[in-house]
Structure 1
Amino acid sequence: MPTVDNHPERNVIRVQLKQNVVLKEMNESEWAELEPHLLVVDCPKGDFLLHQGVHEMEQYFILDGILKRVVTNQQAKEMILRFADERSMETSYAAWRLKTPTPYSIICVTKARVVKLPLLQWIAFMEKHEHVKQAFEYDVMHLMSEIMAHTITLHLLDAPGRVQRFVRKHSDLFDRIPKKELASYLNLSPETLSRLKHQGKI
């Protein structure tokens, strides 16, 4: 895996990284410190970036494509917790803070490109740059709040309501996520999702 500096598309990658929700306020000296630790990873659809239950954790910044968090029970039943796309990030920071194994997997929904580094290196960097840590922890809290709101939605809203809420909050993702994946996230069958779309209820 090449570092950002060794990658043939490094100039494009640097522009993409500087649009990331957590990294966009960093100055040039902070970039110079962080960049040597960043590895560029191109992942096919269905690739696992992180497996549920491990202790070795990494920090991911998404450049292209869509990732999902997935929890799997002992009967191999899956629940999708969230989707994440360009300019956002994925992490298992909360598990690290709680000293527990990762409670979910992170999987590529589409072909994706991410930049990653070991979570401990990322934490060490943040400890030296308080404004980066504040932006990161705010985003972690925001996405955990989103996951909680989604879980509540599955219980309180009917099928059309769940779909309409997703479209309202994530209109940019609706046509990019495979309908089977989106149906699973909304706890619907693909047929129900298709029917709602054709009935004009979305």
Structure 2
Amino acid sequence: MKQHLSTHPRHHFLGLQLARHPLLAQLDDGALAELIDLLEMHDTHRGECMLEQGSRELRQFFVLEGLLKRIVTSPQGREMTLRFAGEGDFETCYEAWRRQDAVAYSVVCAASGCVASLPMSEWCAFLARHPQAQQVFHDRVVTLGQTLVDHAVGLLLLDASARVDAFSRRHPQLIGRLVQKDLASHLNLSAETLCRLSRRTEMRLACA
């Protein structure tokens, strides 16, 4: 369900979440109010597709509650989860918007919550009016790109056990929140292999 923040039953709490979001925390009250007028609020449910691969209706997402996942689907129908975005994180179609191209991945809800979004054209126009926010966003996009590259390299260089250990170290806040299928897709493992390795990791932690 989409609605404006002012009509959302939890508008006060979600407004505070927006004000504290790392991409928006440097905005003054006037700039934040300007952005809020542009936003749509989405109460999301696990499995709900927020953006389809190949779409040209490009959007910027701010995660206030729950989790989003970025998925790419091969021509053969095989899915791989490229990343997860939790509270205080974001999803973006910036590169597709910059190239004036269709988006190369889907954005799907991995855990129910609430997400704010607006069209990429409106987000980029807003950033052009607020250079400090623009710099923060561009820095985060660069960091995101490097994270995706590092993950791809890890899939090539690390064995299955090392992938599970690395994810546990880098994203402890996500452990326990993700279903096995989603995490297995992210680590390019079968669900059975991930289950076996996860039990082994839990045993090591219990003995430490």
TM-score range, shorter chain: over 0.9
- Give the CA deviation at 1:199: 2.0
SS at the partner of 1:175? Answer: coil
Aligned to 2:83: 82
Alignment of 1:1-202 (within 5 A): 1-200=2-201
Residue identity in the other structure for 2:156: H
Q: 1:91-140 CA distances to partner (integer Å, 9 max, x unpaired)?
A: 10111101211000000111121011111111110000001011111111
Q: 1:163-196 CA distances to partner (integer Å, 9 max, x unpaired)?
A: 1110111000011010111011111112211211
SS at the partner of 1:52? Answer: coil
Percent identity for Structure 1 against Structure 2: 39
| Runs of 5+ unmatched residues, structure 2 | none
Distance 1:63 1:178 in 2: 20
Residue identity in the other structure for 1:20: H
SS at the partner of 1:182? Answer: helix
Distance 1:193 1:72 in 2: 21
Contact 2:70 2:108 in 1 (8 A): yes
Runs of at least 4 residues of structure 1 off by over 6 A? none
Residue identity in the other structure for 2:155: L
SS at the partner of 2:37? Answer: helix
SS at the partner of 2:33? Answer: helix
- Give the CA deviation at 1:159: 0.9
Indicate the larger mover: 107-116 or 189-198: 189-198
RMSD of aligned alpha carbons: 1.2
Residue identity in the other structure for 2:158: L
SS at the partner of 1:75? Answer: coil
Contact 2:61 2:118 in 1 (8 A): yes
Aligned length: 202
Distance 2:198 2:167 in 1: 13
Indicate the larger mover: 27-36 or 126-135: 27-36
Distance 1:187 1:59 in 2: 27
Contact 2:65 2:86 in 1 (8 A): yes
Contact 2:164 2:198 in 1 (8 A): no
Distance 2:48 2:199 in 1: 32
